[in-house]
Amino acid sequence: MSSLIRYISRPHPITGVTNAKLGTWCFLASEVMLFGALFSAYILLRTGASSWPRGSELLSVPLATFNTLVLITSSVTMVMAWASLMMKDLSKYKRYMGFTILLALTFLVVKGFEYGHKFEHHHFPSTSTFYAIYFTLTGLHGLHVLGGVIVNTYFLLPGSKLWETEPEQFTGRIECAGLYWHFVDLVWIFLFPVLYLL
Amino acid sequence: MEHATPEAIKRHVKVYISVFVALAFLTVVTVIVSYLKLSLVYAIIVALSIATIKGSLVAAYFMHLISEKKIIFWVLVLTLVFFLALLITPALTGLEIRSYVS
Amino acid sequence: MTGEHNLPFWRKYIFSIDHKVIGIQYAITGLLFLLFGFFLMMMMRWQLAYPGQPLPWIGHLFSEKAMLGGVMLPEFYNQLGAMHGTIMVFLGVVPLAVGGFGNYFVPLQIGAPDMAFPKLNMVSYWVYFIGGVIMIVSFFVPQGAAQSGWTSYAPLAVIAPTGQTLWLLGMVCLITSSLLGSINFITTIVQLRADGLSFFRLPFFVWAQFVTSFLLLLAFPPLEAAGVLQLMDRLAGTSFFMPSGLVVSGKVVEVSGGGNPVLWQHLFWFLAHPEVYVLILPAMGIVCEIIACNTRKPIYGYKGMVYSVIFIGFMSFIVWAHHMFLTGMGTKMSAFFQITTMIISIPSVVILTALVLSLWGGSIRFTVPMLFATAFLPMFGIGGLTGLPLGLTASDIHLHDTYYVIGHFHYVVAPGTLLALFAGIYHWFPKVTGRKMSDFLGKIHFWLSFLLMNGVFMPMFIQGLAGVSRRLWDPMQYAHAQPTQPLNVFISICAWLLGLAQIPFILNFFWSLIWGKKTDQNPWQATTLEWSAPSPPPHGNFEHVPVVYRGPYEYSIPGQRNDFWPQAMKEGN
């Protein structure tokens, strides 16, 4: 049975990490390579282009700044959710987790307005290489945000039952969900200047 | 981190709040700098430096990399090497070809 | 343990989370896809041997768009070529070598009850399965499956018909599956080794799978990204890979332009070169296990082999552009990639040399798996050495995209990897089923496959040196290709006979499953941990949690009563 598998909730004595934590970091390593390839495409296309617009001329910097702050705040609430569990406070955890999800949804709604605005002005991915890379990168990032919302909602509602039986394992899961969420934040921290400011 | 006491966690929380303030501040700074209309090279240097600092803060404190175990570091160092190879090599080949054309 | 027995059939054998069931699922699916991919190729061989003549018997079963009056149309030939490559690599060999052998034997060899994430393991298999279904379905959409080669170079692939979209979606599934699998392998090998099993006591097979997992983890995402970009190009009309002013059929294509076709090649080969090592490393691991067991002596230079396999893994990430010398790369970059390519051949030679030297002075048992394993050595040698001229620009300019390339990499993956995988099947069949495969049928299978594979691939070097392009639908079209046409007939006949030579294997497989000779838990008298578990291993694998006391290949140790000293045995024997 799965209970035969060791180091699910307690860390391995030599490596010092649980299975889930190592697995999550490996997953994030592959995500680094995924976005690395896309940034590489961006660099190659931009250095090869005869002209390339500054992002601030075409995109809304204030909206993106607002979104950056939203995502940073959601990272803090996420880490606070984990810290609440470390202090054995489930209701506080739920409050912070709820905030994190709301902030993520706010991010997506703002992003949706940005997209809608672009479509209204007939700016599509096919318009230019700049828009192609803008829509692809932010779209893929948006999908990651959506994935985070789904995972976090699961851990807020049905997933939190695990707290009653396996509090240590549940805290570990929230830490891993947090790692993913901070990574999504991290990607945006680079996407924001690269697409909007440069 | 696994056996952290409530007091230690409270100290962590203070760190998280300061990191958040730093991130928000740097976001505002990078936006303000972008309105100064620096030349592209300087703009890239400033914006990417700020982004790197912000990213490092998130990775070090929110993702606890500052106190993480060796095995995680090894995975990430390996990833970083290949990430950099992937990031610059295609552009370098492209630039080299163009240097012959001109 | 008890709960497992009460599970309904579909939980136990279909949506199972037991690594052994999942391993068997991978292996069976992989073998079926290998057979399917082989059929595609056997059809192509008819067109190459007898261009323009109707394919006998089965030609008329196809629609008029594929085979006009039984004669293969060029578009259909291209589909067969592209899908043969894709299926063999991504749906056949990788799932069999990593998904099948890796899933089944890595937990057993490290003394773990299962993989670290059993549910994730199940998900990887089913995502792979969906990817396979998408690939097969793509044959039935209008204008057929992908036809831009297994490399799907842009811009040709961007303007190709619908099949290419399905190819990309299928690839995204297959890459995701490999990624999830690799996360599982890395975590399992790092975290779940039995007590006493330090890294330098791991069987070489586990090392090979470990390095392979890192290749899958870090090299596959860039192609996923590239796949997304090509999907955008095809579906949303972007121009990531579409250059400005591209002319197709006399008309300028209406796209925004500004894209770079070479970008696709960079991202594709960033995956696909490490992929070559994904194909070969597990095979080397299997061969090493079998050679140690059948020469009854420790592997020569085990540590050197481990360092070499790590070094191969590392270097395989920085050689990819040697596939792209003809894109007009500058001299500086091509010099860099030539040097790294020459360097990466060194650890491969170290491993091969260590394996050959392991034979020296051994009292070799030429069992069926050992026959396959020894045949792997020279075959991989040919495959590897013929690769060197392709890694140097001066000779690559002549040989690029000719049959020489086909001959080279098929020597690595067909007589190389496939022979090793067959060796693995014969070697571990008793562990999986508790029964041995027939020696007689196994030997027929070996000798015919070994000879015929050389018959198929050796003449390709001659064709390639004569400058015959690898993508010709009608080899009679060019004067320089015509003199090599008799070779095409010879290759095709060998290929069809090779197909027939697999019948003894298929018969043997099913016959032994039911009537094979029953064996105990260690029929080969081997040392590694999987042979300390019952055959077949129950759910949870081991009757007692194993503890490891020594390295993996303690054979013929002086002073011991038996010539093998199992890793899990506490005292001398």
C-beta of residue C386 within 8 angstroms of C-beta of residue C358: no
Split at pLDDT 50, 70, 90, the class of B2 is: very low
- CA separation, residue C531 to residues A67, A144, C431, C566 (Å): 57, 44, 7, 8
Tokens 């070809």 correspond to: B97
In DSSP terms, which residues pair with C247 in a beta bridge?
C252
Shared domain check, B47 and B26: yes
Nearest chain A residue to B14 by CA distance is: A80
CB contact under 8 A, B51 and A189: yes
ipTM value greater than 0.90? yes
Short-list C317, C324, C363, CA closest to C344? C317
Nearest to C174 by CA among C10, C29, C21, C11: C29
Q: Is there a single domain that holds both residue B80 and residue B64?
A: no
The more confident residue out of B6 and C286 is C286
Smallest Cα distance from B90 to chain C, Å: 6
The answer to whether the CB of A182 falls within 8 A of the CB of B59 is: yes
Residue carrying structure tokens 């003549």: C53
Using DSSP's 3-state secondary structure scheme, residue C248 falls into strand
- Beta carbons of C114 and A5 less than 8 Å apart: yes
Please tell me the predicted confidence (pLDDT) of residue C1: 40
Query: Other CB atoms closer than 10 Å to residue C182's CB: what's the count?
Result: 28
Q: Specify the pLDDT at position A2.
A: 44
0.90 exceeded by pTM: yes
Range of the domain at B77: 69-102
Cα dist. C467→A128, B21, C5, C188 in Å?
Answer: 41, 66, 61, 48
Residues of B in contact with A44 (CB under 8 A): 90-91, 94
CA-based torsion, C491, C495, C496, C497: positive or negative: positive
Please report residues of C whose CB lies closer than 8 A to that of B101: none
Q: What is the reported pLDDT for A3?
A: 60
Query: In this structure, is the dihedral angle defined by the CA atoms of residues C222, C227, C231 and C233, taken in order, positive or negative?
Result: positive
- Which of C143, C145, C35 lies closest to C82 in space, CA to CA? C145
- Distance (Å, rounded) from C-alpha B9 to C-alpha A87? 7
The segments of chain C whose pLDDT lies below 70 read: 1-5, 572-573
Q: Do A83 and B59 touch (CB under 8 A)?
A: no
Is C179 an interface residue toward A (CB < 8 Å)?
Answer: yes
Mark whether B52 and B87 lie in a shared domain.
Answer: no
Residue with token string 């001329």: A57
| Mean pLDDT score, A157-168 | 92
Q: Do C187 and A44 touch (CB under 8 A)?
A: no
Hey, which residues does C248 pair with through a beta bridge?
Answer: C251
B45-93 residue pLDDT tens: 999 999 999 999 999 999 999 989 999 999 999 999 999 999 999 988 8
Beta-strand ranges (E) seen in C165-300 are: 247-248, 251-252
Could you tell me which chain B residue has the CA closest to the CA of C186?
Answer: B75
Report the number of distinct structural domains present in chain B.
Answer: 2
Contact residues on chain B for C241, CB-CB shorter than 8 A: none
> Coil, helix or strand for C67?
strand
Is A4–C116 a contact, with Cβ atoms under 8 angstroms apart? no
> What are the phi and psi torsion angles at C154 (to 5°)?
-85, 155
Nearest CA in chain C to B94: C329
What are A31-50's pLDDT values in tens digits? 999 999 999 999 999 998 88
Residue-range domains of chain C with CATH: 10-241+258-532 (1.20.210.10)
Give the SS3 label for residue C421: helix
Closest-CA residue of A relative to B70 is A15
List the structure tokens of C535: 């055959």
The pLDDT value given to residue C4: 57
Same domain, B39 and B86: no
Q: What pLDDT score was predicted for residue C532?
A: 93
Mean pLDDT of chain A: 94
Strand duo C247-248 + C251-252: pairing: antiparallel
Cβ-based contacts of B69 with chain C (< 8 Å): none
**Cβ contact A191:A67 at 8 Å:** no
Residue C163: phi, psi to the nearest 5?
Answer: -50, -35
Q: Are residues B64 and B49 in the same domain?
A: yes
Q: Is A27 on the interface with C (CB under 8 A)?
A: yes
State both tokens at C351. Answer: 């491993």
C-alpha C50/C-alpha C52 separation (Å) is 6
| CB contacts, 8 Å: B94 with chain C | 260, 262
Same domain, B49 and B88: no
User: How far is residue C192's CA from residue C186's CA, in Å, rounded to a whole number?
Assistant: 10
Cβ contact C347:C308 at 8 Å: yes
The model's pLDDT over A82-106, given as tens digits with 9 standing for 90+, comes to 999 999 999 999 999 999 999 999 9
Closest Cα in chain A to B52: A190
Residues of chain A with C-beta less than 8 angstroms from the C-beta of C236: 124-126, 132, 135
Q: Of A22, A34, A133, which has the smallest distance from its Cβ to C221's Cβ?
A: A34
Asked if B20 and A72 come within 8 Å (Cβ–Cβ), the reply is yes
The CA distance from C108 to the nearest CA of chain A, in Å, is: 13
Confidence of residue A75 (pLDDT cuts 50, 70, 90): very high
For residue C5, the model assigns a pLDDT of 62
Is residue C72 within a helix (H) or strand (E), and if so which, with residue range?
A: strand C71-72
The SS3 assignment for A23 reads helix
* Residues B45 and B95 placed together within one structural domain of the fold: no
Q: Which residues are registered as beta bridge partners of C68?
A: C71
In this complex, do A129 and C256 lie within 8 Å of one another by their Cβ atoms? yes
Same-domain pairing of B60 and B75: no
Do residues A135 and A125 lie in contact, with contact meaning Cβ atoms separated by under 8 Å? Answer: yes
How far apart are the C-alpha atoms of C372 and A155, rounded to whole Å? Answer: 51
| Inter-residue long-range contacts of C302-306, CB under 8 Å, 24+ positions, other chains counted | C302/C204, C302/C354, C302/C551, C302/C552, C302/C553, C303/C200, C304/C350, C304/C354, C305/C204, C305/C207, C305/C350, C305/C351, C305/C354, C306/C200, C306/C204, C306/C207
C266:A44 CB<8 A? yes
Q: Which of A26, A44, A72 sits opposite B24 (nearest CB)?
A: A72
Structure-token pair, residue B64: 């606890």
Q: Answer with the residue of higher pLDDT: A130 or A3.
A: A130
Question: What is the spatial distance between Cα C480 and Cα C45, in angstroms, rounded to a whole number?
Answer: 19
> Inter-chain contact B16–A11, Cβ cutoff 8 Å?
no
Sketch out chain A's domains with CATH numbers. 58-197 (1.20.120.80)
Same domain, yes or no: B97 and B58: no
- Residue B93 and residue B43 share a domain: no
Same domain, B54 and B27: yes
C228 neighbourhood in chain A, CB within 8 Å: 136, 140
Minimal C-alpha gap between A175 and chain C (Å): 17
Give B40's contacts in chain A (Cβ within 8 Å).
54, 198
pLDDT of residue B7: 83
Same domain, B19 and B45: yes
Residue B3 above 60 pLDDT?
no
